[in-house]
Amino acid sequence: MQCFTKAGFCQGEKLAANADLSAVAKARGIDFFLVAFVDLRGVLRTKMVPSSAIKQIQRDGAGFAPAATWLDFGPHAADLLVMPDASTLLQVPFSPELAVVMGDCFIEGKEVAQSPRAVLKAQIAEAQKRGYVLKSGVEAEFFILSAQNDSISDERDIQSKPCYDAQSMMRRYALLADIVKTLNACDFGVYQTDHEDANGQFEINWHYRDCLTTADQHVFFKWAVKTLAERHGFRATFMPRPFSNLSGNGCHIHCSLWSGEKNVFEGKESISDLALQFLGGVLAKAPSFCAVTNPTVNSYKRLNGAATASGYTWSPNRVSWSGNNRSHMVRVPDNDRFELRLADGAVLELLGVHMVHEKQTATHYSRVYSKISTFYGWQVNPYLLPALMMACGFWGIDTKADPAKCSFPANVNMYEIPDGSPKLEGIASLPRNLIDATRALESDKDLSALLGADFMRAFIKLQKLEWADFSAHLSTWELMQTLDC
Does residue number 339 form part of the binding site for ligand ADP (CB under 6 A)? yes
Q: Give 31's Cβ-side CA count (13 Å radius).
A: 3
Least gap, CB of 409 to Mg ion (angstroms):
20
Residues in Cβ contact with 150 at an 8 Å cutoff, skipping those fewer than 6 apart: 235, 237, 242, 350, 352, 353, 356
Site for ligand ADP contains 139 (CB under 6 A): yes
Give CA–CA dist 323/276, Å, rounded: 12
| Distance (Å) of CA 61 to CA 19, 44, 51, 65, 448 | 15, 17, 14, 13, 30
Given ligand ADP, Mg ion, none, residue 336, with its beta carbon under 5 to 8 Å by kind, binds: ligand ADP
By CB under 5 A, tell whether 139 contacts Mg ion.
Answer: yes
In whole angstroms, what is the distance from residue 195 CA to residue 246 CA?
13
Per-residue binding string, ligand ADP, 259-298, x by CB under 6 A, is ----------------------------------------
136 sits near ligand ADP (criterion: CB under 6 A): yes
Q: Are 105 and 115 in contact (CB under 8 A)?
A: yes
Q: Which of 154, 203, 344, 444 lies at the binding interface for Mg ion (CB under 5 A)?
A: 203
Asked if 250 touches ligand ADP (CB under 6 A), the answer is no
Window of 114-122, 133-141, 287-295, 408-416 that interacts with ligand ADP by CB under 6 A: 133-141
The residue within the footprint of ligand ADP, chosen from 39, 72, 154, 336 (CB under 6 A), is: 336
Give whichever of 45 and 337 is closer to ligand ADP, judged by the CB atom: 337
Kindly state the DSSP code that residue 8 receives in the 8-state scheme.
T
Distance CA 279, CA 282 (A): 5
Residues sharing a CB contact under 8 Å with residue 327, sequence separation 6 or more, in sequence order:
312, 412, 413, 414, 415
Is residue 445 a contact point for ligand ADP (CB under 6 A)?
Answer: no
Task: Identify the CA nearest to 395 among candidates 462, 444, 359, 330.
Answer: 444
Quickly count: other Cβ atoms within 10 Å of residue 235's Cβ.
Answer: 18
Positive/negative CA dihedral, 208, 213, 215, 217: negative
| CB closer to Mg ion out of 254 and 285 | 254
Q: Does 328 bind ligand ADP (CB under 6 A)?
A: no
Instruction: Based on the shown chain and the rule CB under 6 A, indicate whether residue 217 belongs to the binding site for ligand ADP.
Output: no
From 72-80, 330-338, 413-421, 426-434, give the range in contact with ligand ADP by CB under 6 A. 330-338
Could you say whether residue 344 binds Mg ion (CB under 5 A)?
no
Which residue's beta carbon is nearest to the bound ligand ADP? 137
Residues forming the site for ligand ADP (CB under 6 A): 135-137, 139, 205, 207-208, 252, 254-256, 333, 336-337, 339
Binding site for Mg ion (CB under 5 A): 139, 203, 252
